[in-house]
Every structure is written in C-alpha cells, then in structure tokens.
Amino acid sequence: MRKTVKAFSIIFVLLFPLFLSGQVSFEAQTDASEVLEGSYVNVSFTLKNANGRNFKAPNFKGFRKISGPSQSSSMSTINGRRTSSISYQYTLLATATGSYTIGPASINANNQSLQTKPIKIKVLKKTKSKGSGGEEVFAKMQVSDSLTVVGHRLYLSYRVYYKIGLNVTDFEFATRESYPGFEAERVNNFNRNGLQREIINGEEYYTKIVAERTLIPTETGSFEIAPMTINALIPTNRRRSFFSVEYKRIAATTNGLSLEVKDLPLRRPPSYSGAVGNYSIRSTISRNKITQDDAITLKLIITGNGIAKDIIAPSFDSTDDLDIYDPKLNNEKEFVSKDGIMHETIYEYLIVPKNVGTYTYQPSFVYFDTDSMAFQTLKATNHRFQVTKGSGRRIDDKEAIQQEELTMAPPFEELSLEEKPNIPRQRSILNWFLLLMAIGLTSMYGIKLYIDQQNAIDPEIKKANAAKKVALEKLKAAQEHKDTGDTRAFYQEINNAIFGYLQDKIKMPLSDMNKAQVQDVLLGKGYADDIVNPLINILKKAELSLYAGNTDPSAMNEVYDYTTQAIVNLEEHAPTH
C-alpha cells in the first residue's frame, strides 16, 4: 500500500505542472515585415509554458545587431489556466535593400529541441519625401465581412496609424459609438497583435488596433456605421506631478462602413443545427466491444466561431439494430484563438444495441457556412463496434441501465463486529486517547491566546498591515528586477502585478483588461476617483516606459513605492455597499 501511495505521489508531482500550463510553443515575431534602409526592426523569440536552455539565435544576415538579446519573462492565470513565457529580444538595423530571411532560432525544452519558423523581411530604399509626406495620424475602421446573415458574428476593428517619431502613448474615442441593427460587445484582447510598423507611400508608420467590437446582426437589411473620431494622445512637457501629465491631442477620423445582412435560405435541411459560421466536429465512443446487455456512450465534440446559444443538439434516429437516445450536454466552453472567439460544445448520446453483429455508426452535423453562404454537412468518425450475445435481458432506457449497473455491483460481505476482549490493546487505546486530549487542550489554549492578541490590535492597523502584505506579495517580481536594475522587466512586472491584483480583486478575466475598462469597472463599483486615478496613472507610466523607451532607472524606486501605496489604498478603501 505504501509503495502504491509513493508511486502515485511521484507521478502526481511529475505531471502536476502539465495540468497547470498550456501547450508548449516556440515562436519568432517581428514588428515589421517591411522596413526602410537605415531603419530598425525588433525581433523576438518566445518560448511559452516551458523552461528552456541552450538558446541559439539565428544569423541576422542583411542586418546589424544594435542590441540584444534582452530577456524578459511573464506569467498569467486566466480562468484557472496558467501560462508563462520567456522572450529573447533583438533590435536590428537594416543596412542594405533586398529581401532577407531570418532563419530559425533553437532552444532545448521538455527534453526536445524546438525551432522557430523563418521570418521574411523586405528592406526598401529610402526616398526623399516631398512636402509633409502624408498625415501624421490617420485611422481606419475595418470589418471582417461586409455581407453576412442574421446570427453571424462579425469583427469590427479600429486601427490607428501614426508616424514614427511621434510619442503617442494612448488613444481615446472622441465620438459616441452606434451600431444600428446589431448587438455590439467589446472585445478586450484587441491588443494581442501589439504595436506593428508599416510603410505607406514611402514612409514608416506605427500601427495598432486600439479597439475591437463583435457585431451580431439582429435583423436583415442595409446598415450604415458612421465614421468615428479617435484622438492620439501625446504627452507634453507640462506635468501636474510625476505620474500626471498633460496631453496634446491629434484627431483622426475613420471611414464609414456599409453592411448588408441577409436572412438564411428558406429551404433548410431537416437536421439543421442552427449553427452559423465555420465549424468542425469530432467524435469518440466509450468502447468497441459490447454485449446486448451493455450500452455505448458516444461523444460529439462541436467546435466553431458561431453563437453557442443558437445551436440545437443534433438528434439522431434509431435504426433497426441500434437505439439512440436523446443527447445530454456534457460540457460547454468559450475561448479566444487567433481566429477570434470560439466555442466548444460536447454532447453525449447513449447507444443501445438490439441484435448481435458488427455495426458502424457515423454522426453528422449540419450548419450554415458563411464562407460558401450555403448549408454544409460534416461527418465525424465512422465508428465500428461489435455486439455479442448477452443474457437475453433487454435494457430499454437510461434509468434501467443505471439500475443494472447498481444491481451488478458486488455486494458487501457481512461483517462480524464481535471481538474477544483484549486488555493490553484497550489500555493502549486509552493512553492514546488521553495523549490526544492533552494535545488538543494545549492547542486550544494557544489558539485562544493568539486570538486574544489579535483582537487587542487596532482594527485599522490590522487592515493596513493586511493591505501592505497583499501589495508586497504582488510586487515581489518587480522588486527583484528593481534590485538588478532591469528597467524594462521592472515596468513589465509593475503592469503584470496591477492587472494580476485586479483580476483577484474585481474578478475580471486578465484577457478583458485595459486601462479604460479597469477605470470604468472600479468607478462603477464605487471606488473614489482619488483611489482609482493613481492606479491608472501607473499603468500609463508603465506603458510609456515599455513602448516609448522612457526607462529611467532612477525612477524605479519612486514607481515601486507609488504602486505599493496605490494597491494599499485600494485594499483599505473598498466600498462598503
């Protein structure tokens, strides 16, 4: 028994990290696919959900290395799923025109060698611009589909472009959003692509998606989405305090959009599931050999980008040889991928055989495909199973099957409670009982003394100490980077600490967080402006440091103390209602 427990413990320790982390990957990224001669490009190699060693960078032919590798790491937990990453970052100077390929980087992780995919970068000749050379800031509104059907989720994005050299640190909407004919929801992971660079009319621009919405059509017809004005915020030299700056605003107005929404075709397949979008299915069965007394559980896993609540579970007809019962919902979850918001739904079907023999069964799923604008039928695995002769007793429903499992369970053996008197054993039990009682009374007395001491402490002092403890725990990683002087990693951890703290405090998923959303939620929960604003100012300071290169090492102590106090204030001044 002890060996079994020990073996199980070893297996659990070895496998536990796998349950906590996501899929291991090693990817290369760049902030530009085209750059001008004499300009720079940032390249990073990121390992996710693993510890790596022996990192080897590729040959940067056609570029001169300006800096790197600088190393940064991050960790987050979203909906109970932990993800971690470590990045190796380089800044390269484009020295000559042409098309270049940055080869794979390699690293050892999880007892295997991983490689990134090659990156292609085109270096263009720099030309002299005439006049102003184009707008300093402009914006575009883009939609995933201009022609759609009722019930199909669209993605609307607002992308801003601004010239390299402008110190833009934030954006704000100057006009009110309006989406007639659609249900609109905010997508809070719009910054997943980060800051990119593009060459437009011979000039380099930074570009970023500053907001994204999902639009679900609620009626048919032609609809117009009006242009939006977005302000790019540039900090000035005037400051109210270290964390409070005044901004110059440069307005950019997007284009408008015309959308056409149609209804689904009137002639719909009888087995249509109600799903609209792009889908895939797969299926499994519990076993492939049974008797006539048994049943098979078939799982149908449906994955797609449509609206989960619109799906009707497929209903399969019984055959001459198989009874197929109505499905039950096993699991349903929503997640975000590179293709947008996805959902996975799992249904379970009970299949009871009628006759002896070998049978095949292939479940199917009918949905409306928005790429082809037609109904499509997906076929899952063609399952093959063998049915042998049973006891002859027929099981016709789920309740009967469950009752059958209970009656087939081995009965408990009758136990005899009679035992011959054993005086030495009784004395041993009594001794152990008295010892445990003495330990218990001593422990209770110690606990009472501790409680009395705690009750004697001023409640405000206890509250302040608890708040300080929370703040210091969240800022532990930032403290380490402050001590080593790594400014970029320090500001990244300041950002991570605040978002991680708020994830626990206001129960907001990490993927939903940005400065504006955090400010709205905290103010909506009743926190005062003078409690919320310092936290938002710190996030702005961290973003400015990370993306605009404003990483003054001498400011780290002040930022650390200011962040600690901001978290303490939020802990101490929680709304009472």
Instruction: Give me the phi and psi of 524, to 5 degrees please.
Output: -65, -25
Q: What is the pLDDT of residue 510?
A: 58
Q: What element of type H or E holds 9?
A: helix 2-20
Q: Give the bridge partners for 431, in sequence order.
A: none
Q: Write the DSSP string, 210-240.
A: EEEEEEEE-S-EEEEE---EEEEEEEEEEES
Q: What is the pLDDT of residue 552?
A: 64
Q: Report the length, in residues, of the chain.
A: 577
Q: What is the pLDDT of residue 21?
A: 46
Q: What is the pLDDT of residue 16?
A: 40
Q: What is the pLDDT of residue 6?
A: 46
Per-residue pLDDT tens digits for 2-43: 444 444 444 434 444 444 345 788 888 888 888 888 787 888
Local confidence pLDDT in tens for the 577 residues of the chain: 444 444 444 443 444 444 434 578 888 888 888 888 878 788 889 988 888 888 999 988 888 887 878 887 776 655 455 677 888 888 888 888 888 888 999 999 888 899 999 988 888 887 655 444 568 899 999 998 888 898 899 999 999 999 888 888 888 888 888 899 998 888 875 445 577 888 888 888 888 888 889 899 988 999 999 999 998 888 877 655 555 667 888 888 999 999 999 988 888 898 899 899 999 999 999 988 988 888 889 999 999 988 888 888 888 888 888 888 888 888 888 887 777 888 899 999 998 888 888 988 999 999 999 888 999 999 998 999 898 887 765 555 445 554 544 444 444 444 444 444 555 555 567 777 777 887 877 777 667 666 655 555 445 555 556 656 766 777 888 888 888 877 878 888 888 888 777 777 766 665 556 777 777 778 777 788 778 888 888 887 777 776 555 556 777 888 888 888 888 887 777 765 5
Among residues 168, 164, 162, the alpha carbon closest in space to that of 36 is found at: 164
Q: What is the pLDDT of residue 414?
A: 44
In terms of phi and psi (left: phi > 0; alpha: psi -120 to 50; beta: otherwise), the region of 94 is beta
Q: What is the pLDDT of residue 536?
A: 82
Within a 10 A sphere around the Cβ of 150, how many other Cβ atoms?
A: 15
Q: Which domains does the chain have, with CATH numbers?
A: 18-124 (2.60.40.740), 137-262 (2.60.40), 272-404 (2.60.40), 459-572 (1.20.120)
Q: Are the CB atoms for 281 and 377 separated by under 8 Å?
A: no
Q: Are the CB atoms for 123 and 37 separated by under 8 Å?
A: yes
Per-residue pLDDT tens digits for 436-489: 887 877 777 667 666 655 555 445 555 556 656 766 777 888 888 888 877 878
CA atoms within 13 A on the CB side of 566: 26
**CA–CA distance from 314 to each of 82, 94, 108, 363, 545 (Å)?**
34, 56, 45, 9, 53
Q: Please tell me the distance from the alpha carbon of residue 452 to that of residue 445, in angstroms, as a whole number.
A: 11
Q: What is the pLDDT of residue 425?
A: 56
End-to-end CA distance of the chain: 54
Q: What is the pLDDT of residue 2?
A: 45
Q: What is the pLDDT of residue 241?
A: 55
Q: Please tell me the distance from the alpha carbon of residue 555 to that of residue 558, in angstroms, as a whole number.
A: 5
Token pair of 271, please? Answer: 């087995």
Q: Please tell me the distance from the alpha carbon of residue 2 to that of residue 196, in angstroms, as a whole number.
A: 58
In terms of phi and psi (left: phi > 0; alpha: psi -120 to 50; beta: otherwise), the region of 559 is alpha
Among residues 179, 378, 196, 350, the alpha carbon closest in space to that of 275 is found at: 378
